[in-house]
Amino acid sequence: MYKIGIAGAGAMGGRIGVSIKEAGYDVTLIDHWEAHVNRINTYGMDIKTETENYTVDIPAILAQDVTTEFDLIIILTKAMHSEAMLKHLLAAGCIHEDTAIMSMMNGLGHEERLSQIVPLSQIYLAVTMWTAGLRGPGQLLLEGEGTIHLQRADGEMDSHTNSILQILNKAGLNAQISDNVFEAIWSKATLNSVVNPLCTILNKTIHEFGSYPHSAEMVKPIIDEIVAVAQAKSIELNSHDLLQKVEAAYPKETQGLHYPSMHQDYANGRLTEVDYLNGQIAAYGQAANIPTPRNTMLTQMIHQLETKL
């Protein structure tokens, strides 16, 4: 039986884990949040969708207690916790030489960091457009549809790639194998690098920010920096297309009513993932001698806010 671990069982980890579990696979949720883990094990995962409420029985375990050896580990922790989680799972004997490690986290550079812990050939990158919310310990809010694009981090195809694809699609997660997953990752990172810090700094929903008549003038220079840095890394992005992608998030019927995840983290007293978005873009830009003053400033402004946490 293919054993699957979801490392980081928050909103998105819960959604992916529950979907795969409902498809009949052996799935374990792994997390550090004791109240969350205990409620899942006692009552199951409580699911609320647009049309129904139901419960899914799925095993959950605290990260410090896990010893199971997995064939696939999907990492959905916050980016800043991913390396510590992977090191812990490796030390706990959860990873064998053929375990597939799939990062589905937001942000950039995960393959570089994780490959310092396990071989690059074991790392798979995925970008998802699914959304999810956590209403409380063991309580998921699942709305809307989404997709997943995936690829082995070194670009090679192998049997694991097809196995992962089959698992995700049996779970109804609309997955497909990409021949250049980095473009999809950078495209999503661009959206997050715009709406996340700006809505957090300005304390606005995505719709409220987009309703400002000069929002495009604020957004385009940020995007232009990202496109220039991406090109230096041989990733082709189009500024016009990315601006349209950002603006498509503004309407209330898409993402507009929501505060982005960075705003939610800050509002709940948690450090943000800005270093893996604007901060990573600035770092790549510095390495390639490409100025990134706007992404650098956004990173510093978010860190200024975090000094209050």
Segment 232-286, tens digit of pLDDT: 999 999 999 999 999 999 998 888 888 999 998 999 899 999 999 999 999 999 9
pLDDT of residue 131: 86
Segment 150-192, tens digit of pLDDT: 999 999 999 899 999 999 999 999 999 999 999 999 999 999 9
What proportion of the chain, given as a percentage, has pLDDT over 90?
89
pLDDT of residue 257: 86
Q: Which residues contact 283 (CB under 8 A, 6 or more apart)?
A: none
- pLDDT for 129 beyond 80: yes
Segment 279-303, tens digit of pLDDT: 999 999 999 999 999 999 999 999 9
Of 114, 95, 90, which Cα lies nearest the Cα of 104? 114
DSSP string covering 195-260: HHHHHHHHT--HHHHHTSTTHHHHHHHHHHHHHHHHHHTT----HHHHHHHHHTT-SIIIIITSPP
| Average confidence (pLDDT) over 32-51 | 96
- Please give the order of strands across the beta sheet that includes 3-7: 60-62, 26-31, 3-7, 70-75, 95-103, 123-128, 148-152, 175-177
Q: d(Cα 225, Cα 223) in Å, to the nearest integer?
A: 5
What does the CA dihedral 6, 10, 15, 19 come to, rounded to 10 degrees?
30
Structure tokens at 298: 């956004």
Q: Which segments of the chain belong to CATH 3.40.50.720? A: 3-179
Q: Which of 21, 78, 188, 204 is catalytic?
A: 188
Chosen CATH of 3-179 out of 1.10.3720.10, 2.60.120.620, 3.80.10.10, 3.40.50.720:
3.40.50.720
**Residue 309 CB: number of other CB atoms within 10 A?**
11
| Average confidence (pLDDT) over 127-149 | 91
pLDDT of residue 28: 98
pLDDT of residue 47: 96
| Average confidence (pLDDT) over 204-227 | 97
- pLDDT for 64 beyond 70: yes
Q: Which residues contact 261 (CB under 8 A, 6 or more apart)?
A: 106, 192, 196, 273
Place domain 183-306 in its CATH homologous superfamily: N-(1-d-carboxylethyl)-l-norvaline Dehydrogenase; domain 2 (1.10.1040.10)
220: annotated active-site residue: no
Of 251, 245, 243, which Cα lies nearest the Cα of 205? 251
Segment 73-97, tens digit of pLDDT: 999 999 999 999 999 999 999 999 9
pLDDT of residue 1: 64
Of 199, 201, 194, 247, which Cα lies nearest the Cα of 221? 194
Question: What is the chain's length?
Answer: 309
Q: Which segments of the chain belong to CATH 1.10.1040.10? A: 183-306
**Residue 42 CB: number of other CB atoms within 10 A?**
9
The average confidence (pLDDT) of the chain is 95
Q: pTM for the complete prediction?
A: 0.93
Q: d(Cα 265, Cα 253) in Å, to the nearest integer?
A: 23
